[in-house]
Structure formats: C-alpha cells, structure tokens
Structure 1
C-alpha cells in the first residue's frame, strides 16, 4: 500500500479585522512548483492504491453505462436558413461531429436520420475527434455558422482553463483562414458574416472587453467595442433572434445593465443604454416587432422579487412601460424568448419549471402542460425568427431526454426523438416523488426521490441513499434523466436531491434565504433533509452517502463538519472548500464578482466573521470521526483552484480523519475530463467509491 501523503506544515498566516489565521498548507498554491506537482501525483498514487480493490466494479459500471448508450447516434436536425444542422456520434469516438445537410424550400419537418446510415448530402463542419488529436483535453467554447452559411467559427480549449482560440474556415473552399484569435471567451459572426464579435478576460479571468475583428485584417487592428472597468461585473454579448440588434450585457450576481447597437447602422456606433444600472436590479431583454413597432420585452426585478415582464418601445427604452406579465409572488419568471409572431416564457411555480406561449396582441400566456408530477421542460434549438414549430426538450428522473416540436397552428405536440436507453430500460419499473423535510427554523425543504420499484417504496425498509445537493447562485437541481444513475438504482440505491435554500427551486426568496449572511441555511437544510430520511425510515446514517460539486462541494465540506456522523461517505467534486481564503483575495480569478454571492470579507468584518463560522477548511475539527471522503479536482480549474481541496485534505488528515482521498486530474478544468468515454470512466470511479461506502461493492 502506498504511504499516505502528508503535506508539510509551513509557517504562513493571514490577518484580517484583527483575526490571525494560521494556514500551514498555503504553499500548495504554487501550481508550477515541482514539489507541489509531486505531492499531487503522490495523492493520485495513494488514491489509486486505496481504491484498487474497486477496479473490477469500476469496469463493470463503465460497461453498464457504455452498454446503455447508443454510441452511434444523431441529434434531431434543427433548421437554420437553407440547412438542417445536427450533431452525431460514432461508436468508439470520444467527441461529437457537427454536420449539416441541405433543406428543401419551406420544409420544416426535420429529416429522420438513422444511426449508422449515411445522410444524403451530409457536410461535416467540425469533427471534434480530429480537433482533439494530440491533446489530452479538448473542449469547444464557441461554434457558429455565418448567416449566409459560407463560413464556420469554432473556438477550442486544449487546457481546461476556459481560454479559447477562435478559428475560422471558409465552407466553400474548405480552407482555414488566417484569422486566429487566442485567449478569448468565445465569439460569433456579425449578421453579414464579415466580422467576429468576441470577448477577452482580465487577469482575474473576468470577461471585461468586447472586440470586433474584421475578417482578413490583423488581430492587432481589432476594434474595442466596449469595456467594463468595474471588477464586480462581467461582460457578455449576443445578437437578437431577429438579427436586428447587438446586445451587450453587463452583470453581477445582483445587478445588470444592457446596451443595444442597431445593426441597421454601423456596429461600431455608440451603444444605446437600455436602463441604467441600479444596485440590486437585474434585467434582460428580447426584441420583438408588434403591430409594426420595434419593442423590447424586458424581464426585471425592480420592486418585483420574482420578476415582472414589461414591454417598451425600442426607440425609447426608458420611456413608458407596459406590463405584460405582472409580478406574482411564488411565480418566478425565468426568461423570455421572442419570435416573429409569439414569445415563449419560462417560469417556475411550485418548485418546477414551466413553459408558456405568450400572445403579443393580448399578452395572454398559455401554459404547455405535462403529465408527470416531477419534470423539466425548456425550449431548445430554435434559431429562426419565424418557424411553424417550437422545439422543446422534456425529461424527468425516469423519462429519458425527449425532443418535441409543438405545431404553433394546431398546438399538436410532435415527438421527434427520445434518448435511446439500451438494455431493455423500462421507465415503468422506476418511480419518483417529492417529500418535505422540516428545517430547524420551520421551513419546509423539498426532497426529490427516484428509485426502482422492485425494491419497494422508500420508507418500507432501510435502504441505501445517495443524497445530492448544491444550493447556490439561484441554480436549481431540476428533474433530469441519467443513464449512469441506473447503475445505482438497479442495485437498490435511492437517489435523492435536497433542494436546499440558496438554489432557486422555490422562487427568489429561496435563493435570498441561502446566500450572504443567510448562507448557513444551505448547510442546515441539507442536514435536515438527511435527518428526515433517517427519521422516516428511508435510510440510516450507515447507509447514506452525500455528493455535491463546486459550490455544492462547499456544501459537502460544511456538512462534513456539521454532521459527520450522518453519512457513510461524502463525495466532493471540485469543492469550494477554502472559500474564505479565496474570497479575501481579489487577485484570484472571479473573486470580486463573487462578493455579491458570499459577501465581502475583505472590507466587512461581519461578513468575515460569518464566513469563518462555516468555511470547511477553517472549521475542520481535531479528533472528530469524519466519514470516508473523496475529493475530486482538476489542476487547470480556474473557477475552484485545485489548491482548495488539496489543502482541505491535508488538514483533514492532520485532524485525524482516517479515510480521505484526493484525485486530481492533471489535464482538465472545472468540468473534469473531456471526452464521453473518459467522462463515463470518471463517473464509474465515483460510483464505485460511493457503492463501496454504502456496502454494495
């Protein structure tokens, strides 16, 4: 057995607001240090040795996942202009292949493509497998075809650090142009296809500048379209579906501001401010033409906690507002997509996403209904300003991803494709439901459960449970199907999601009650969900594992300190476990932007004191019997640096934790390894570890 890696303790302190904290493992931050790299490699070797007994199970799980996936497959084609665009995969290939085929005039019925059967007239636009050759990591950050369908833009990342190099190909000649733009956040063509709009980042990895690159000119001559100097705000851009406006969006977690450039004029014209930024007011816009007038449909939260939808004249956006969907407490309006003859509104009610069709003349919203009690549905693949169909994607914990086209004339819902699940999967053999846990302050916290029926109803007897949580940034963990999860369910595991405060499942208040100086609610809600499952006879502490990633990894670290005896194991992926150190340092990637979510401990002593009560690294307790912990990270992660779990694991071992593992991918970023087979193997590794912790290995 490889010896347990023990990180050296080296004197290092930080002092803020009169408080001095000793941080003996801060030296692990030196990413390029041979000593640090050697330590990470030793951690990987140790993890390999400690999990060697699971090699057979890992291979079994990988083959189960692989065996349920139709490896040679195609997406449902989506029409844009005179072409059908789609992606396909081939057995044995890690990455997707982006393709197109010519469309017949006025034909909006997507061709039925058969896996493994050659598509007549197919044109391969980009083969990810070719692009990835010679690289350990590959990710595509942007993919765009010019409106005239003659040029392709794509932006690969070969490191995992989310810095992309824009490349351009002439689709007529097949030649790659000399217009190569490195270190971008991605980009897109202008409507006339003569130029590229792209973003770059500052030293803190914040998208802060918007540029215009005219094809055929040196990158050094690119025109700066916009710059956002405030370190709290990020910048993004896009073109309205109508192709009329360039929209420049500036945003923080709680405040936004948008500008328009009318593309009927020069794209380099001075951007028009829509609404001036007001601290705490968020808004976003879409362009529509109603009664021959250019209108902006603006979703905002000014005096409207769960948001309101209004319409204003595009020529006078700060003028009179017409309320389209009024604020309604408990109905969180999420987004609006405008088309020529209608709009689609996404909103959340009773913990679930909903979709409604908005009629321009009457402002009436007709909800699109679905049958299952727990589900997710959203518009997808609708690039055209005018089309007779609305493309929808639907899924649940038991229903594989399903693509529908809604006929906007007849309201008929046409099934285009359902994700194939091989091996005889029958959704009728599984069930899902929502239960409620009572938090310490009297709040009811929803828990979603999914299980295989043949093992009985949850609560009939004590069963193994895999409890997942996130709870930050108003991000909701909505019902969704997972092929890999079937390997758990078929072994009798109940998969559960704790919809804790800090997420957005129950409206904007749910988010507000789990951030800043309310952040501890996120952690205590998760513990309350675990205790509810134990008290109701669904499981026991010895038969429950917990999982969370990124900000959900912070949740895992906090829960490990709050309730170590409640879990048989804790899996923390790219975990934000050294949060106070990171949020105190504005030179680190994205730190200043994060102050709206967590508070500013650098300048506010109350925030500092509050964060120090829950950040996992500072609160590891000596002599506590921690459950087995597996921390997963990636060396090129720019969102949660590898050093956070590395320090956390070192501190846990120092405190006496007996079974703590760190696995660091040495060629990946925040999203983990690239390539579908690699991702399946990584998930098989995690599942095998959790099943072992549950006594099912």
Structure 2
C-alpha cells in the first residue's frame, strides 16, 4: 500500500531583525505569488488535500444535495420601492448568479409590494442585469457596485473578475440595454449616481488596497477627465462616500479604527469644496445623517466623545460645530450603532444585553420607542429603505431557528406586515430545533456569552456529551448575530450542536467588550474562546474529542492562537482565510492589512512593546513542538487581498514540520469571500462540513 505523503515546502531561511530581535522565517519565500515554484507548491497542496479527503466525496455530495434540496432555487426577493419602480432579484434553478429586475408601480399611493411567485410572469418586468450573462466566460464574477439613476434611465455596475476586489465600472442605458462608452477601471466598491444622474461618484484604492480617493465622473466623458473630489494622504485612514437619503448632501467619510471625520458636499454642486462636519480628533468617532426638523436642515450625529457607548445629538447642518441638542444621552451598556433619517422619523439601531435592537425616533419629542421581538435570540435591522418619505420601514429579521424574514413596519400603527419568510424545503419545522444562551467564566472572572442551537430530537445540551461545532471571531467590534443557515442544518440533523463563543474583541456586549479584546488586551479573545470550550465540557455538553472549532479571517487568527494555547481541547480546527502570520504582515507598511490596522493590533514596527506582545500570540510565530495538535484544515484563496494566501501556506508548512496533521486548500480563482457563484459556494461549504463531520466521527 502506497503511503500518501504531504508536500514538503523547502526551507529557505530569511532573517529579519526588529527591535534587536532576530527572527528566522523558513517559508517567507512562499510570498512570491508569481513564482512558478510557489504555484506548483500550492497545486501540490491542493492535490494532497483532495487525495486525503477523497473518501469524503460521497458525503460532500450528500451535503451539497442537502443544501440544494432545502433551497428554493428559483425564487424572488421582496420588491423594494424606489421612484416609479419595484426593484427585486431573481434566482433561477441551475444558474449560479442572481438576476436583477424591476417592474413599474401601478398605484403610487399603494406601498404594498407585489407578491411575486417563481414561474409566474411579472407584468412589465425589465431585466436590469443578469449575472449569469455577465459572468459568461469568467472563472470569477462579483458585483461591487450596482445603482440605478433616480430617473430610472441608467444602470451603474462594477465587476470584479479576479477576486481582488478591484472593479471595472460601466453604465448601461436601460432604454436600449446597451452600455455607454464610459469605462472606469480599478475602482473600489460602492459607486453611485448623483441624484440628478449627471455624475458618478466612486472611490479608488492605493497600492496597499486602502480606499484613499473619491472621484467625480461626468457621464458621457472619458475617465481621464474625472475630477478628484477628495484625497486622504494619511495612510492610517480609509475613505468612503454616499448620498444622504434626502439627496441633499454627499457625505465623504474618513475613518480609522478609532478616529473619524465626515465632510458635506452640496449634492446640487458636487464640485464645491467639501466642508468638515467636526474636525477630526484622535480617538473620537462620529457619523452623521441629514434630516429636516421644523423646516431646518439638521444633522443627527452619533459620537463617542466622553461617551464610550456613544451619544446621539442634533446640530444645525449649516453650523454643525455650534450648539448641540442631546437626543440620546450616553448610557453604559447600550451601544448606539446607527441612526437612519427619513422625512418624518428616524430609526435608531443599538445593542443591549448582547442583542441588536432598534427603535423609532420621534423628531418632535426625541423619544425612541423600541421594537419588540419575541425570541430569546434574534437579529433584526432596517434594510432596503431607499425612499425619503415612506409610511413604513422595511425590516430584516431572523434567528438560529427562524429563516430570514422580511417585515414592513407601519410606523403610524405599530403593525408588522409579514412580506416573506425564506422557504426551507424538505419539511423544515422550526419547532424541531431550539436555541439558548449560556455563559462561561473567563480566567479574569468576566462572563462570556455562548449561543447554542441544536435539534431537539437528540436531546438537550447537557443531557450527555454531544458533538459540538464551536465558532468564534472576536475582532473589529464585529458581532456574530443569531442567524439562520441552510447549510448548518446538515450538521444539526446529524446531532451536532452549533455554538458561538461571543468573545471579547467583538461588539456583542458594547464598546468596552471590544476594547478589552484589542491591542494590549488581544489575548482575552483567545482565552475567552478557550474558556467557552471548557464550559461546554464542564457542563456536560461535549468532550474535547467531540468538539471542533471554526473561525475565518481575524477569526482564523483566533483559531491559530487557540491551537497553540489549548490544542487538547479540540479534535479539529477549521481556519478560513486565516490571519495567522499577523506579525509579519503588520510589520510591512506596504501590505493591505498594516498601517490602517495599527489601531486594531498596535504598531510593532515602531513600538518594541507591541512587537513583543504580538510575537507572543501570533500563530505562525508560536507553533509548538511539545504538543499534539488537533487535525487542522486551512482554506484560502490565491487572489485574496485582505489576508494573503501566503499566511496559511506558511502556517501549514510550519505545523507539518512539527508533526501536525494539517491540510491546505487554496482556491486558485477566488478572493477573501471564497469562490463566486452559489453552487460553487455550496460545494465549498460542503467540503468544509464533510471534513468537520469526519473529524467528529460522523462521516458515515
């Protein structure tokens, strides 16, 4: 019998010295993406991974078919009203990409969206863009911009065909279906028309993929004539732009992880000089939105100056640095997230007690009435509300057991109108599943929430050890919300309990929760996750040999750190596009995840204490020789511009050198989000879930 041997990356030591510390990196040569030897090594890794997992192909196919059979493949979204049209999307069985459509309003006084059914013609339907046609002949296809002019005559769209998140913008005449000569290369995402349709506002990135410039393009003119509206030279900051819902202003946003500044440009005079709302002040974040109250143009501003969890104030748009009216005073533990202004009222989004919440803002009284939802765990938020003066607010809702749901909330009556609940085929019944929240105690005494979801026919967590799939992230104040997943049912229906460790560094419990998991407190993220694993074992939910862990991107750093800290707690670890060579990356200012990330991780290039602290936890630096690692699968993409493929490639090489059973799967045509196309994405997820089930001894 032939023994299957893994690829061995040649050791080619490269020495770097920072702050007097000499580091020998044996595998940094793998960073040379254009080197045929590097590509050959990645292809060999893929071949080895495929050979090692070949026996799982029947299971992968079953899981893919399970996902497919539970999904209504030909479906339509709930139409969103904008101008004289209802806009919606179609998916068609057998087709990888969505189709963007619209149908005309029949009664401007009626805000009830038409009920659309697969296979039933929609009167007056116009296909704006068919992703399947646009993607024909491309190995990768992603839309980064999609906007229709206010008058409904032009479509703006941006396509990435490589996975590197740089988009080519084009403009389509919706009357003829033909593209105009305008072509703008190498843009960032989120381009949009001006309210009058005369201009396109877009952003571009610098060599480190940092959005740094806002441009103005006049429709029908060469891109070479485009005008710079704003440029941010400080490499710690990124820029973005968007028009207010009122269409009164263009807002240019400048931000780092801890500081922000916004500028107003009159939408009727886009060539005018942007004026700062509040001058930037180190450590102060704010965001503004325009409203009209008692006939006056005002700005509602969320800010954190002397307000850790943010405060909401109202100022004059003409004089934003003048007097402020406090609308919502700072309240510790209530993290204000966003205010969205409409003509007659606003919507305020915030977090409290670990859940996202929302309330309606009365401009006259400054009162916020919170909307009530029945489930213990849920996610809810306003979405798809382009109109300035609607009588209702479109909401998205879901939980671990409730599929994605669309409501229209009637502001005048407080009524929730159910527009659609995403169908789950195959007899799915939410009553067959349950969710709850339990708590772990971290090493410093802090209580850390854990969300659980399981199929009730296998019993209740704690009745006896069960297989557990523990997920975590814990960076950038990003919260892992209770959300439904069709693919996850393939795990739950095999008796696996899915758990989310809401560790510090995320935003689940407010701004302090984030502060306590970043910079010099980053280790809390890792030890919190380990504490959650210990709690699940101590409470009888599982055992280490029946528990797998997963995280992606910065959550992949979490996975790598946990593998070093507590390898004995897990049978397997899945790390998606993992940020495992963080110190090497953050030391190089020319790379995308560097200068703008120093506010998140610290600056090891100039600060020896930060250098020493990061070196003490970064996974690649701390691969151990004295432990038995769990099985590890690292998934990456060759064209990922956020976390380069080289990080997991180096990590796997070093893990193998100490005897770990580590696999690398590198998508050769994909980006940070993985492959494009829904069927491709389902197969990619089926591959990962089959591997996890195999680790849990549930592959039969």
Same fold (TM over 0.5): yes
Give how far 1:63 is off. Answer: 0.3
- Given candidates 448, 451, 454, the residue that maps to 1:448 is 451
Deviations 1:506-528 (A, max 9, x none): 00000000000000000000000
Query: Where does residue 621 of structure 2 map in the other structure?
Result: 618
Please tell me whether residue 603 in structure 1 is matched to residue 606 in structure 2: yes
1:277-356 alignment to 2 at 5 Å?
Answer: 277-356=280-359
Q: How far off its partner does 1:542 sit?
A: 0.3
User: Are 2:217 and 1:213 equivalent residues in the alignment?
Assistant: yes
- Structure 2 residue 229 is matched with structure 1 residue 225: yes
SS at match of 1:686: helix
Q: 2:526 aligns with which of 515, 523, 527?
A: 523
Question: Paired residue for 1:252?
Answer: 256
The corresponding residue for 2:697 is: 695
Whether 1:361 and 2:353 are equivalent positions in the alignment is no
1:263, distance to aligned residue in structure 2 (A): 1.8
Name the SS for the 1:613 alignment partner.
Answer: helix
Output the CA distance in 1 between the equivalents of 2:568 and 2:439: 22
Shift of residue 391, structure 1, vs aligned partner: 0.3
Q: Which residue of 2 aligns with 1:101?
A: 103
1:567-615 Cα shifts (integer Å, max 9, x gaps) = 0000000000000000000011131000000000000000000000000
The residue number in structure 1 matching 2:676 is: 674
Give the corresponding residue for 1:589: 592
2:33 match: secondary structure: coil
Alignment correspondent of 2:510: 507
CA distance in 1: counterparts of 2:53 and 2:221, whole angstroms: 54
Q: What is the CA–CA distance in structure 1 between the aligned matches of 2:602 and 2:656, rounded to whole Å?
A: 30
The corresponding residue for 1:33 is 35
Report the alpha carbon displacement of residue 624 of structure 1 after superposing the two structures with TM: 1.9
Contact kept in structure 2, 1:449 and 1:495, CA below 8 Å: yes
Structure 2: stretches of 5+ with no match in the other structure: none
Question: Alignment partner for residue 63 of structure 1, among 60, 65, 69?
Answer: 65
Deviations 1:304-334 (A, max 9, x none): 0000000000000000110001100000001
Deviation at 1:663?
0.1
Are 1:178 and 2:206 an aligned pair?
A: no
With structure 1 as the length reference, what TM-score do the two structures score?
0.99
Selected match of 1:393 from 374, 387, 396: 396
Quote how far apart the aligned CAs of 1:407 are. Answer: 1.1
Which range moved further: 178-187 or 642-651?
178-187
Give the corresponding residue for 1:124.
127
Matching residue of 1:143: 146
Cα offset, 1:173, TM superposition: 2.0
Aligned equivalent of 1:18: 20
Superimposed CA distance per residue, residues 233-282 of structure 1 (whole angstroms, 9 cap, x where no aligned partner): 00000000000000000000000000001123x21101111000000100
SS in 2 for 1:386: coil
Asked whether the equivalents of residues 624 and 656 of structure 1 are also in contact (C-alpha less than 8 Å), the reply is no
Please tell me whether residue 236 in structure 1 is matched to residue 235 in structure 2.
no
2:253–2:262 CA contact under 8 A, matched in 1: yes
Q: How many residues align?
A: 695
SS in 1 for 2:666: strand
- Cα pair 2:593 2:643 within 8 Å, conserved: no
CA distance in 2, matches of 1:677, 1:412: 37
Q: Deviations over 1:129-187 (max 9, x none)?
A: 01111011100001000000000000010000000000100111222101010000031
Residue 650 of structure 1, CA deviation: 0.2
Residue aligned with 2:181, SS: coil
Deviations 1:189-243 (A, max 9, x none): 0111011011111111100011111011111111111000000000000000000
The two structures, once aligned, show a CA RMSD in angstroms of 0.6
Task: Work out whether residues 257 and 276 of structure 1, in 8 Å CA contact, stay in contact via their aligned partners in 2.
Answer: yes
Q: Is the 8 A contact 2:634 2:648 kept in 1?
A: yes
**Alpha-carbon shift at residue 2 of structure 1 (Å):** 4.5
Structure 1 residues 660-680: Cα deviation after superposition (integer angstroms, max 9, x where no partner): 100000000000000000000
Residue from 83, 86, 89 that aligns with 2:88? 86
1:161 aligns with 2:164: yes
Q: For 1:122 and 1:624, how far apart are their aligned partners in 2?
A: 62
Task: Check the 8 A contact 1:451/1:494 in 2, yes or no.
Answer: yes
Q: Is the 8 A contact 1:573 1:632 kept in 2?
A: yes
Residue 20 of structure 1 aligns to a residue whose secondary structure is: strand
**Higher alpha-carbon deviation: 115-124 or 84-93:** 115-124
Give the equivalent residue in structure 1 for 2:278: 275
Segments ≥4 residues shifted beyond 3 Å: none
**Does residue 1:470 correspond to 2:456, yes or no?**
no
Counterpart residue number, 1:630: 633
Contact residue 300 and residue 307 of structure 1 kept, 8 A: yes
Gaps of 5+ in 1: none
Q: Aligned partners of 2:450, 2:499: CA distance in 1, in Å?
A: 7
Query: In 2, distance between residues paired with 1:116 and 1:138?
Result: 26
TM-score, normalised with respect to structure 2? 0.99
Q: In 2, distance between residues paired with 1:495 and 1:13?
A: 43
Q: Is 2:191 aligned against 1:190? A: no
The aligned counterpart of 1:649 is 652
Counterpart CA distance in 2 for 1:467 and 1:411 is: 38
Match of 2:78 in 1: 76
Cα pair 1:136 1:158 within 8 Å, conserved: yes
Corresponding residue number in structure 2 for 1:545: 548
Between 401-410 and 82-91, the greater mean CA deviation after superposition: 401-410
Superposed CA offset, 1:31-87 (max 9, x none): 010000000000000000000010000000000000000000000000000000000
